[in-house]
Amino acid sequence: MTKQALQLVVHIGALLPLALLLWDFWWGYLSADPIREAILRTGKPALVLLVLSLACTPLNTLFGWKQLLPLRKPLGLYAFMYVCLHLSIFVAIDYGFNWDLLREDLFEKRYALAGFAAFLLLVPLAATSSRWAMRKLGKNWKRLHRLVYLAGILAVVHYLWLVKADYAQPLLFAAVLAALLLLRLKPIRQQVANWHR
């Protein structure tokens, strides 16, 4: 598949959950608790896209799929877009900008604290995603963008702490993220490189 075709697939795939959410909202197809459903339906795409952005480099390491590397940035930015929507619905619609209640819940509900911490880590990454920022920051750009792994861990923890019964999906995300992090370790990367040779 060509680079342009892959990018088109990413754009369509990333915007599809939002289009479906807007469609269901417009036609009244959301559940009896539409706000909660909207929060969940923006949170999950954020996590999926974040994990996919983290998977590009390991997949290239494993299989030599260099065409995936340019997809890291759009996947990451779409993930951040969904995080912003997720947080906006939570703050503006669910809590109605009640800052006292939000502050109280932030420190009483651990899932909210983990999710907010992940958001705070993603803000500087999204803000420095341009080529201009890469040039200005130089070697520090890579160091800064390693925070994406911590953001990914916090996002999975947020999901794990949020669910009350069915842990299958958050544990699956945790397993995938753990595998991706292991593939980033230098000894494992060297083993993969030796295997390729």
For residue 132, give Cα distances in angstroms to 74, 80, 135, 136, 139: 16, 19, 5, 6, 13
Residue with tokens 């999926």: 48
CA nearest neighbour of 178 among 42, 83, 55: 55
Rounded Cα–Cα distance for residues 11 and 71 (Å): 10
Q: Which of 62 and 186 is assigned the larger pLDDT?
A: 62
Tokens of 186: 């230098």
Supply the pLDDT for residue 197: 62
Is the predicted pLDDT of residue 61 greater than 90, yes or no?
Answer: no
What are phi and psi for residue 88, nearest 5 degrees? Answer: -65, -45
Note if the pTM is more than 0.85.
yes
In the structure, what pLDDT confidence band is assigned to residue 183 with cuts at 50, 70 and 90?
Answer: confident
pLDDT at 71 over 90: yes
Q: How far is CA 188 from CA 3, 143, 161, 173, in A?
A: 28, 20, 30, 21
d(CA 18, CA 21): 5
Q: pLDDT category, 165, cuts 50, 70, 90?
A: confident
Q: How many domains, the chain? A: 1
DSSP 92: I
C-alpha–C-alpha distance, residues 190 and 123, integer Å? 32
Q: Tell me the per-residue pLDDT of 168-181, one tens digit each, with 9 for 90 and over.
A: 999 999 999 999 99
Residue 90 belongs to domain spanning = 3-196
In tens, the pLDDT along 76-135 reads: 999 999 999 999 999 999 999 999 999 998 889 999 999 999 999 999 999 999 999 999
* pLDDT attached to residue 1: 73
Pair 18, 85: CB distance under 8 Å = yes
Q: Using an 8 Å Cβ cutoff, are 66 and 60 in contact? A: yes
Q: Which of 94, 93, 106, 84 is nearest to 158 (CA)?
A: 106
